[in-house]
Amino acid sequence: MSSQVKLNNEKIDRALLDSILLKRFFYVASFALYGGVAGLYDYGPLGCSLQANILELWRKHFVLEEDMMELDCAITTPHKVLETSGHVAKFADWMVKDTKTGDLFRADHVVEGFLEAKLEGDRLYRLQQGEAVEGAAPPAGDKKPRKKKNTVVHEPLTEEVKAEIEFILAQIDNYDGAGLGELIKKYNITSPEANNPLSEPVAFNLMFDTSIGPSGNLKGYLRPETAQGQFLNFKKLLEYSNEKLPFASAQIGRSFRNEISPRSGLLRVREFTMAEIEHFVDPDNKNHSRFDEVKDYKLRLLSAEQQLKGITEVTTIPIGEAVSSKLVDNETLGYFLVRIHKFLTKIGINPDRLRFRQHLNNEMAHYACDCWDAEIHTSYGWIECVGCADRSAYDLTVHAKATGQSLVVREALKEPLVYDQTKVEINEKAFGPALKKGAKPVRDYLLSLSESELEDLQKQFTDKLTVTGTDNQQYDITTDMVSIKRVTVKTNIREYVPSVIEPSFGIGRIFYSLIEHSFWSREGDEQRSVLSFPIGMAPIKCTLLPLSNNEVFNPFIKTIGRQLRDHGISTKTDDSSASIGRRYARNDEVGTPLAITIDFQTVQDNTVTLRERDSTKQIRQPVDVVVKIIKELVEESTTWEQVISQYPLFTQQEVSE
Amino acid sequence: MSSQVKLNNEKIDRALLDSILLKRFFYVASFALYGGVAGLYDYGPLGCSLQANILELWRKHFVLEEDMMELDCAITTPHKVLETSGHVAKFADWMVKDTKTGDLFRADHVVEGFLEAKLEGDRLYRLQQGEAVEGAAPPAGDKKPRKKKNTVVHEPLTEEVKAEIEFILAQIDNYDGAGLGELIKKYNITSPEANNPLSEPVAFNLMFDTSIGPSGNLKGYLRPETAQGQFLNFKKLLEYSNEKLPFASAQIGRSFRNEISPRSGLLRVREFTMAEIEHFVDPDNKNHSRFDEVKDYKLRLLSAEQQLKGITEVTTIPIGEAVSSKLVDNETLGYFLVRIHKFLTKIGINPDRLRFRQHLNNEMAHYACDCWDAEIHTSYGWIECVGCADRSAYDLTVHAKATGQSLVVREALKEPLVYDQTKVEINEKAFGPALKKGAKPVRDYLLSLSESELEDLQKQFTDKLTVTGTDNQQYDITTDMVSIKRVTVKTNIREYVPSVIEPSFGIGRIFYSLIEHSFWSREGDEQRSVLSFPIGMAPIKCTLLPLSNNEVFNPFIKTIGRQLRDHGISTKTDDSSASIGRRYARNDEVGTPLAITIDFQTVQDNTVTLRERDSTKQIRQPVDVVVKIIKELVEESTTWEQVISQYPLFTQQEVSE
């Protein structure tokens, strides 16, 4: 909160931070009493409050400010829905098994870890030989959090092998199971830690499955994203928006991903809170009405083209320029990148450690046609925290096709539209009598075909053709029953499937990154850790500290606590017997920006001291004044700098701080 | 919001209400595009906002006001945890199958529906015969929402049979599978609707199961309640509370229940948002420090004793009296009943349709030792919306035993405590050498025994005894290795497992009840439905209505919308071409308390009209004044009555209202 604290904490002591987060109950491994389950975490009071503050701001910043329609959809999802969306077939990772221990690993992580260890072994070998090694050790922060422990053998590589390994690592996301299997054979890759032979990679679907209802017949999954619930409500959303585009829905909720072998704390988990926006827009006009307001806003971008050239330096340019040069595809995408940036920096993410990276073709999800990730730099490297994908019309199209429902926008045209179209025409007199029961499934099949599919069919359809009806039976059709023709159509209505721009926030990753960015230690005293959350994010706004456990302080604690609570301001009383200095330190450690101390002078004149976390400066004022100041600080209608310019500093030496 | 509206809407047109809720997108059946899944619902923008308002107030009223520790725990839960808690064995309903169609039903609902139809057939028969039938038809609202459609045959019953059926219905929750099976045989009960023979009842566990991780070896469930996550964090919670009792944790989150055959809309669902509090308290002192503040607060109570006597009338008494007469067991339970009552009435539940019903012994959950339900009266009858159970030390005790961890509070005593205790003493010299590898499992087994278990063991232990170690192997012990003795203990530390008082809120049921209690129709016009939510709960606070779609109004819409949003006040613009009157009606239908109309006078003098939903009264003031009034109304620092006493009413005839 104080601008005097300039956070420059790229290298943090992660072990220290982890121990603080555990000790102070920000979060813990779930079911720890039973030995824990990898990838599952419980948030304690401080974590829960920090998460709630992030989500509250998210709701204000997006849902309220942009007039989005918030939804809260079911988590358990029937098989058919996720089969249609492509998740049953494609939402999978490649998995390998240690053939001796039976341990299971993500194949790409194993290959990556193994090859990185080779490079590191080479580097260390050369260092030992006294060679000038190019570049220092790669900073721990520059790798994705994927590596498993591999024994690093100090061994030289030929330049050729080294180049080959670097080439593989650069495009590791590009390998499928067979490709990863070949790499494992070629490099004799064994399991990390145990060094045993590995199985062939097999696909493992990442959805948790379950069955709905008592019969066991309705197979279902826990949703892997909140998006599908929003797509399925498209018709109601369109109706709620008076049939007008663009509009956006939003959803905050839990999603699930049955990770093969989760590591990296909160960054790779099996259950996570997401906040997703689905912005539905005319595919022919992705301009945004408020783009003008943001066009000069500068972002740090790393394009696909740059990455393919091996460039890792971001380009900082105004979003207006990025859109006009087509680096960012359209105004709506650009507008959301800015809104995401504003949100992240507002909660306290360091803008110097935030970038937008464009996806390479090979790493795009099965539904996406363009994607920029907001990546935040942490001690684990650059972490994808927000994806901003253009899912095009993919989802609505597949759901419409699977259910036979029309998921389109109908727009009245001022001028009628005239165009040519390939259409199927059915000669009812011949069609029905010839196909009998097959008439409906064949008709449904033919009418479900897109224009290009019809054109393909037409090519094979000279006289007679065998087709598969929607009942999966085969039928013969002839040209006297069915004709496929190019016809001229005139219409006053334009019908189209909207495109969807999807900003998708991983709240847990943002939560963790924010903690790292807020973490530092007071100079000269490594043990005095501070979490400098912005006041809006701080889990507790104010600590109440009685000088000792003398009972005369109790009424003050009670009254001040109530006054602050009545303003909706969260407080915590620390009446332990530790010294005031020690208690201030504990207060700083959990990121509480303000502390009120109640001492014997309070009993005499009803004044208290108010201390600010980052500057450690204090003022002394009557209780009512202090409560008013705190309220204004929390509402952000004043700053600590303004407060100390208005009220004299209280400089009496603190006891034992 | 206006006290002029006196809601007396016990008989609502549920079909009309349902159609409004669907049409206006409060909520819809999930996956409706795919035919829907029973018991799963998606909340639309209005429902989502209403739910968020309820939860926000819940957080303020409980977590902030009572200084509770909020948690956010994992949903997927390993088998072992829920086996220990008793859910694997006991969280089940009895299910019967239609032997021809294969349809599955809840056995108790089928029996109940069948027997109720018998009684109704008898009543109708007597009515036809011109007999004076005692009591009118039971009002639809007086039954639990359980009945399935049964054919009502107009047939007389003997007084004996009738009395027997009434006796069975009064204690239907008391029957297990065998008992229900006997009733089915005895009364020849067939499946509802199809009238086919039924199978024997079988237990169906209501937890959704899944497996965690790729191996398939770690069986898990979706949590059936949020409570277990809180119990498992007991040690961290105690530490966070400086090792002092009492303290409370709280959790808001999704829980799951794989209902056999869900009906009754939001009242019986497979996924639901819960808000649960676990208040940990000294079992020997369940007094509450703030009980004095509430002791004169009156509640409508229906005790177990009253129910067993067939009394259905509540007793209205101050909670202080209820606790001192032991009707309500202790102050903490009583304090929470009052807090629950205050919360429910604050969100808008009609206090005349709210009661607290004590559970009968036979309906208590497997973990509870006393329980009062807050029941809300709706068109489905009295609905359990909040359970307030004393779970005693059940959960902590079973988890401690299953994990070998100590889940106790250690309290320093001022005076040392001297008491006799039965203890096991191990003679190490004989014990280890005799049992070898068995020494540890036998020791662990013996030390895990409670005092009464030790006393039981002692009775059989004359010379030699065979015991089962924690490794499930059998071992012989002799009296020279182990002795069980009554000894005098002196200690300065008291160690105990706390009791837990658990107020548990079903948010979806409260949500639905609130909607029913807020629903009414303007006199003389059945179609003008109104939802009179208190302003704090209203999904949208203010509608913006331009008189027409003339472009001159646009800048005003934009400016006023922004001003309100900046105060965090949700608005919606209705710029459809419907008349102002029609748009006011739509506004009332979704419960929006305020509406601003922008007309040609606005363009001239920057004044707008402000209309209140319940009174339909209006004022006309400059935009800035109106925005200020709205802010004060939303903050509840003023009321509409005060506003119209301060500003002149605007009485110009509305166009076409």
d(Cα A387, Cα A375) in Å, to the nearest integer? 9
Burial letters for B308-324: b for 16+ Cβ neighbours within 10 Å, e otherwise?
eeeeeebeeebbbebbe
- Secondary structure (DSSP) of B430-441: HHHHHHGGGHHH
CATH 3.30.40.230 fits B92-141+152-205, yes or no: yes
Domain boundaries, chain A: 14-85+209-394+500-507, 92-141+152-205, 413-495, 540-646
Give B-chain residues touching A212 at CB under 8 angstroms. 37, 208, 258, 270
Tell me the average pLDDT across B112-133. Answer: 85
Give the residue from chain A lying closest to B202, CA to CA. A214
Nearest residue to A571 via CA among A546, A604, A550, A548: A546
CA distances from A147 to A185, A301, A509, B274 (A): 19, 26, 18, 39
Chain A touched by B81 (CB under 8 Å): yes
d(CA B123, CA A19): 71
User: What single string gives the DSSP state of each residue in A226-278?
Assistant: SHHHHHHTHHHHHHHTTT-S-EEEEEEEEEE---SS--SGGGS-SEEEEEEEE
Which residues of A are less than 8 Å from B72 in CB distance? 42-43, 47-48, 51
Mean pLDDT of the A501-521 span = 97
Instruction: Over range A215-233, report the average pLDDT.
Output: 95
Q: Answer whether B43 sits within 8 Å of A71, measured CB to CB.
A: yes
Distance separating alpha carbons of residues B326 and B314, to the nearest angstrom: 17
Q: Rounded to whole angstroms, how far apart are CA atoms B116 and B5?
A: 37
Residue B292, both tokens: 């004095």
Is residue A74 very low, low, confident or very high in pLDDT (cuts 50, 70, 90)? very high
**Which of the four pLDDT bands, split at 50, 70 and 90, describes residue A464?**
confident
What's the DSSP call for residue A653? P
Distance CA A485, CA B58 (A): 63
Helix (H, G, I), strand (E, B) or coil at A655: coil
Interface of A with B in 574-613 (CB under 8 A): 575-576
| Helix A507-518 vs helix A331-347: crossing angle, to nearest 10 | 50
pLDDT, residue B141, reads: 39
Q: Are B233 and A271 within 8 A, CB to CB?
A: no
Does the beta carbon of A176 lie under 8 angstroms from any beta carbon of chain B? Answer: no
Asked if B236 is an interface residue toward chain A (Cβ–Cβ < 8 A), one would say yes
Where is pLDDT greater, at A2 or B165?
B165
The whole-number pLDDT of residue A1 equals: 45
| pLDDT at residue A612 in the model | 97
The upper half-sphere exposure of residue A100, i.e. CA atoms within 13 Å in the direction of its Cβ, equals: 8
Q: Which amino acid is at B215?
A: S
Q: How far is CA B176 from CA B102, B107, B189, in A?
A: 22, 10, 16
**CA-to-CA distance for B633 and B614, rounded, in angstroms?**
14
A206 inside 8 A of chain B by CB: no
What dihedral angle (degrees, nearest 10) is formed by the CA atoms of A560, A563, A565, A570? -40
Q: How far is A260 from chain B (nearest CA, A)?
A: 5
Identify from A21, A22, A37 which residue to disrupt to test chain B contact, counting B C-beta atoms within 10 A and taking the largest count.
Answer: A37
Range scoring the smallest mean pLDDT among A28-37, A361-370, B521-530, B536-545: A361-370
Among B185, B181, B123, B188, smallest CA distance to B152 is for B123
Is 60 exceeded by the pLDDT of residue A407? yes
Class of the B14-85+209-394+500-507 domain? alpha beta
* Residue in the structure block whose two tokens are 């929390």: A634
pLDDT digits (tens, 9 = 90+) for B61-104: 999 989 999 999 999 999 999 999 999 998 999 999 999 998 89
The overall average pLDDT reported for chain A is: 90
* pLDDT for position B167: 83
User: How far apart, in whole angstroms, are the C-alpha atoms of residue B184 and residue B198?
Assistant: 8
Going from the C-alpha of A274 to that of each of A86, A229, A600, B166, the distances in angstroms are: 20, 13, 49, 51
Asked if residues B572 and B592 have their Cβ atoms less than 8 Å apart, the reply is: yes
Residue B641 C-beta-side C-alpha neighbours within 13 Å: 5
Q: What is the pLDDT of residue B656?
A: 38
Q: Which CATH class is domain A540-646?
A: alpha beta
Global pTM reads 0.88
- In the prediction, which pLDDT does B309 show? 81
Top CATH class of A413-495 equals: alpha beta
Measured CA to CA, the distance from residue B507 to residue A72 in angstroms comes to 13
Q: Please, what is the Cα angle at A12 between A121 and A147, to 5 degrees? A: 35
The reply to whether A204 touches chain B by the CB within 8 Å rule is yes
Confidence of residue B321 (pLDDT cuts 50, 70, 90): very high
Pair of tokens at residue B645: 């006493």
Please answer yes or no on whether B215 and A104 come within 8 Å at the CB atom: yes
* CA dihedral over B625, B627, B628, B629, signed as positive or negative: positive
Residue A657: per-residue pLDDT: 36
Query: Per-residue pLDDT tens for A147-192?
Result: 456 777 888 888 898 888 988 887 777 788 999 999 999 999 999 8
* Tally of residues, chain B: 657
Residue A109 φ/ψ, nearest 5 degrees: -65, -40
Average pLDDT in chain B: 90
Q: Which of B28, B209, B568 sits opposite A233 (nearest CB)?
A: B28
Whether B92 and chain A come into contact, CB under 8 Å, resolves to: no
Surface-to-core class of residue B459, CB atoms within 10 Å of its CB (0-12 exposed, 13-18 middle, 19+ buried):
exposed
* Closest chain A residue by Cα to residue B32: A232
Contact A330, A286 (CB under 8 A): yes
- Res A620 pLDDT > 60: yes
Calculate the alpha carbon distances from A309 to A116, A167, A358, B94, B101 in Å: 21, 12, 13, 65, 65
Residues sharing a CB contact under 8 Å with residue A217, sequence separation 6 or more, in sequence order:
A211
Least confident of A128-132, A474-478, B611-615: A128-132
User: Mutating which of B54, B76, B258 best tests the A interface, going by the most A Cβ atoms within 10 A?
Assistant: B76
Q: Which residues of A touch B54 (CB under 8 A)?
A: none
Range from A486-495, B562-571, B603-612 that averages highest in pLDDT: B603-612
- HSE value, Cβ hemisphere, 13 Å, CA-based, for A568: 12
Distance CA B444, CA B402 (A): 12
Q: What is the DSSP string of B219-288?
A: EEEE-S-SHHHHHHTHHHHHHHTTT-S-EEEEEEEEEE---SS--SGGGS-SEEEEEEEEEEE-TT----
* pLDDT confidence bin for B654, thresholds 50/70/90: very low
pLDDT at A382 > cutoff 50: yes
Size of interface A-B (CB pairs under 8 A): 207
Place of tokens 């079973």: B398
Compute the distance between CA of residue A283 and CA of residue A333 in angstroms, rounded to an integer: 12
**In this predicted complex, what is the ipTM?**
0.87
DSSP string, A534-594: -TTT-S-SEEEEESSS-GGGHHHHHHHHHHHHHTT--EEE--SSS-HHHHHHHHHHTT--E
Q: Among A426-435, B172-181, B608-617, which range has the highest average pLDDT?
A: B608-617
Residues in a beta bridge with A93 = A204
**Angle formed by the axes of helices A331-347 and A45-58, nearest 10°:** 140
Instruction: Look at A76 and B218 and tell me if their CB atoms are within 8 Å.
Output: no
The answer to whether A191 touches A359, Cβ cutoff 8 Å, is no
Instruction: Give residue-wise pLDDT tens across range A276-285.
Output: 999 999 999 9
Q: What are phi and psi of A654, to 5 degrees?
A: -70, 140
Residues forming beta bridges with residue A453, ordered by sequence position = none
Q: Which residue has the tokens 């600010």?
A: A612
Most confident of A571-575, A606-610, B177-181: A606-610
CA distance B476 to chain A (A): 30
